Structure 1
């Protein structure tokens, strides 16, 4: 299957395989680091472990460097400025939730993933991760039906409220639930500025300019700029839900063609985690 993306290039089956391989590598890094976490490790140390894991597998560039959030920071409570999103010296404790997020670039291909876990056991955290599965189903079904991105975003909001949670991706810069990804084609030297790769940022800003000319955006939020169906291409989608001081999310690539939409890979940790739907929580 092939389709046109926003830059006019054709994404071939072989290229989709390359995106899928990198996404799986990123999730394996998150799983391996999650398994290595112990009480006392800091967010910065967890993020460093992810970076070293991926660099040992050929990653030399980044859309953004790894993030790690522990405890109530998984629900993005009191995060108001971009610098507060970066890893801190917060230490992990037993029973504490965590989110690991990374966006490696390899051979021009990009992955952007989010992995939710907990140190020990937490039925509440298990339920949050299970309930994210309904959002995964809803998003692909509504995009496939041709709904506007704005309407899909609002449907996700409605489902979050029905489940008894609150929307945490609205705290992200621009309130985005997703952004487009594609091949990074830049002659700039590899460099990181404020946690983001300059080559990837150049690609994103180029897409932003092109899409704005068509009154669209490669950033998916709930504003009027998203009042159009999904542009064919690859979207890194990250619904993020919270219950009090605990949050959970996933992030993975959604493939959108002229007449279809599908998740790039169904063999991912949060998909394998799913159990029958649970009764919604009451706040």
Structure 2
């Protein structure tokens, strides 16, 4: 899977002759080939595609990348040198670059080496990546199914006396076991009073009866991420725990009911936030309703108070409201949604009614 053609079609409307992709996520999106960090660069022109890399990746890139000319860097001919040759031979006058991720040092080096104008063009990629095609949706759904299989197994392991770290480690193992390429991010497993930390780090704390356990995790499959959160109780729950859980669940359902292509991110966020506010927990919901999911675990568009733009059709966003009571507990429930003109398709199938293990 590559997106050379989709990118090339957009160049004229942005007034570009070519676009240079040096960031890991956009390189993968364009080429379908993954390499770490700064180990590679893709150049898409209106007529040709190029991929530059070093000897460590040349063979692998050649096996994977289609419809692009592969050129190898080496001593005396680095990325800037190879790009300069193409700029000259292909008469490139305006080249887009990823202003959101290129370093000042990299920009200065390319500006000095290339006889063309460098034009900020991150938005071009963000807009394209926001709208998923069928192959992308298939990969995202498969990643979600893998995470859900891992969750099914982990529910059998959660009991008093096991640590947060142990649960996190087992989640990672099970996802890899079921076919994941990697984790989307370091799993969050927090219990009891640690649950009030939305992005808490799994610790040596022992899980105890009468506590919530919140697990936020996902995996990568064919380069695309899954993301989900489930909060379960161990042994028994108090009335307050049940109230908090049901409030979050109702808030999530309200946001999902509002989520559709054309609704603004602010509107979707507000639908969920209104439920939490009405229950008296408004000050304990500090993050947004959701974010885009795709090649990266956090990408455009966002369902947040700050986004007053319409959400695009075929976007994939998370649905993850939460309530976090400092020193007491936290609850978050997260699904992933595929937006359509009529509403949304929930890609997450795992049950989310309150579960007491």
TM-score of the superposed pair, with normalisation by structure 1? 0.69
Match of 1:248 among 317, 331, 339: 331
Structure 2 residue 191 is the aligned partner of structure 1 residue 70: yes
Output the CA distance in 2 between the equivalents of 1:145 and 1:110.
Answer: 21
CA shift for structure 1 position 155? 3.1
Partner of 2:349: 267
Match of 1:231 among 288, 312, 320: 312
Partner of 1:187: none
Deviation digits for residues 127-179 of structure 1, max 9, x if unmatched? 44333332233213323384421233233222102123345451xxxx33311
Contact 1:65 1:104 in 2 (8 A): no
Change (3 A) 1:264 1:101: same
Match of 2:232 among 117, 122, 141: 117
Change (3 A) 1:10 1:37: closer
Deviation digits for residues 31-59 of structure 1, max 9, x if unmatched? 32132122222211110010011111121
Partner of 2:92: none
Larger radius of gyration, structure 1 or 2? Answer: 2
Partner of 1:141: 257
Structure 2 residue 213 is the aligned partner of structure 1 residue 98: yes
Output the CA distance in 1 between the equivalents of 2:285 and 2:186.
Answer: 19
Aligned length: 227
SS of residue paired to 2:232 = strand
SS of residue paired to 2:161 = coil
- Per mean C-alpha deviation after superposition, the further-off stretch among 102-111 and 120-129 is 120-129
Match of 1:11 among 124, 127, 133: 133
SS of residue paired to 2:235 = coil
Match of 1:178 among 286, 290, 293: 290
Partner of 1:132: 248
Over 6 Å off, 4+ runs: none
CA shift for structure 1 position 114? 0.2
- Per mean C-alpha deviation after superposition, the further-off stretch among 49-58 and 37-46 is 37-46
When the two chains are superposed, the root-mean-square deviation of aligned CA atoms in Å is: 2.9
Partner of 2:12: none
Partner of 1:212: none
Contact 1:19 1:111 in 2 (8 A): yes
Structure possessing the higher relative contact order (Cα contacts under 8 Å, 6 or more residues apart): 1
Gaps of 5+ in 1: 185-199, 208-216, 275-283
Contact 1:179 1:235 in 2 (8 A): yes
Gaps of 5+ in 2: 1-5, 7-125
TM-score of the superposed pair, with normalisation by structure 2? 0.56
Change (3 A) 1:20 1:129: farther
Output the CA distance in 2 between the equivalents of 1:143 and 1:58.
Answer: 30
Output the CA distance in 2 between the equivalents of 1:153 and 1:59.
Answer: 31
Output the CA distance in 2 between the equivalents of 1:249 and 1:96.
Answer: 14
Change (3 A) 1:267 1:62: closer
SS of residue paired to 1:41 = coil
Contact 1:104 1:110 in 2 (8 A): yes
SS of residue paired to 1:269 = coil
Contact 1:75 1:168 in 2 (8 A): no
Deviation digits for residues 171-194 of structure 1, max 9, x if unmatched? xxxx33311112x3xxxxxxxxxx
Contact 1:129 1:273 in 2 (8 A): yes
Output the CA distance in 2 between the equivalents of 1:129 and 1:32.
Answer: 22
